[in-house]
Structure 1
């Protein structure tokens, strides 16, 4: 009996030591995985600010003799919660590539979107930000400015944008404010939404449906008309709202844009 009890105690003690070792190993593995995740998150957040920082630095150089836009306290972070895992991975891969300074920054306050506008709609540009559509008016110029973005990336939030919402397009020399007039859905090969316009307009383009598996057959179009434009406000000027970040020089009267209702056409 004594021997069997002693044997059981030894087995129990050995098992306890074994379990403690397993717990220690699991704890170490957990700490390592957490460290890797935190390091990756910090790297992604840091790299995501580079294009916007580069734009701000170039803007300061261009506005030495002009009042500078105050950027104090502004944080630039991207919300990846709505993105597809594939798009997040491709965005992270794009961070290893070198880019020219953005043409501007697109702001959509309602959906907390603030993203650099890059020159072109190649895959690399659309993974890193949103892209200026060649052949349309360039940001800051008169006419119809076309900007494209991925439906499973930066432009997925457009599903929550509607008529009456405000959009800002910030370039080195000015800030243009647009009001969304309507939402339309067109075939992927329909170029009509990008045609030249007599007035200053903005057209945002992304694939549709937003959660379609495979190559999306439609295009989701946000049409907006400019309602105001101005130069950046002085850096030391106290601003109470984001829409007051500039000194307006143009007020575009467009009663029709205020009466527009949300339209979706198949």
Structure 2
């Protein structure tokens, strides 16, 4: 009996070590992938001279067969929650497993009278993504850098809505609306946390 208990104890220790190594390796891989996207975005800016607007018709969802990193929309930076992440075009499962995803078929980011949305998972195992988005509140400022330049936004409303309440993304007159979306509460798909912000700057090239 003692041998069995000892064997089970050793097995549990080995399983714990394996799980820890798996978590560390997964987190490192996620970070490495995000850094690759960020580096690729910097290369795109340099090659384009950072002054070549990309129309919505020219964008393609990112996939492994896409030459280069055409699906990169930009980089979202929220200092309050220490977030700096690439945003890919398309909020599909593949993109959201790697980074943040811009909801397809919306207006260009920062467009007056337009609506643009970025979705992200709360990745508690690998990476960070939007797991601290709930800390953002009205008055919080953040930037969104695209190939056209860097835009600054200020949060004016925080909402919790049901998944079918997509009208929360409707355009609003006289503001450039940008919404950040994640599931709420943590580890649940019951609601959506929606952070709504308006552009408060002129384009900075």
- TM-score, normalization by structure 2: 0.72
CA distance 1:140–1:172, shift in 2 (3 Å): farther
Asked if 2 retains the 8 angstrom alpha-carbon contact of 1:177 and 1:226, the reply is yes
- Note closer, same or farther for the CA distance 1:64–1:209 as it changes in structure 2 (3 Å cut): closer
TM-fit CA distance, 1:229 = 2.6
Provide the residue aligned with 2:75 in structure 1: 105
1:185 paired to 2:156: no
Establish whether residue 176 from structure 1 lines up as the match of residue 147 from structure 2: no
Alignment length, in residue pairs?
170
Structure 1 residue 39, shift from structure 2 partner: 7.1
1:204 matched to 2:180: yes
Report the equivalent of 1:52: 38
Equivalent residue, structure 1, for 2:192: 219
1:146: which partner in 2? Answer: 117
Distance 1:40 1:207, change over 3 A: closer
Is residue 148–residue 205 contact of structure 1 (8 Å, CA) maintained in 2? yes
RMSD over aligned CA atoms reads 2.9
Whole-angstrom CA distance in 1 between matches of 2:39 and 2:200? 27
Deviating 4+ runs (over 2 angstroms): 33-48, 96-101, 138-142, 229-232
SS of equivalent to 1:50: helix
The answer to whether the 8 Å contact 2:120/2:129 transfers is: yes
Partner SS, residue 223 of structure 1: strand
The structural deviation recorded for 1:181 is 0.5
Match of 1:229 in 2: 202
Change (3 A) 1:119 1:210: same
- SS of the residue 1:156 aligns to: coil
Unaligned 5+ runs, structure 1: 1-29, 67-95, 233-266
- Tell whether the 8 Å contact from 1:103 to 1:139 is kept in structure 2 after alignment: no
* Farther off after superposition, 146-155 or 222-231: 146-155
Aligned-partner Cα distance in 2 for 1:53–1:164: 30
SS of equivalent residue, structure 1 residue 56: helix
TM-score, length basis structure 1: 0.56
Deviation of residue 61 (structure 1)? 1.3
Q: Which has the higher helix share?
A: 1
Q: Determine the C-alpha separation between the residues in 1 that align with 2:23 and 2:193.
A: 34
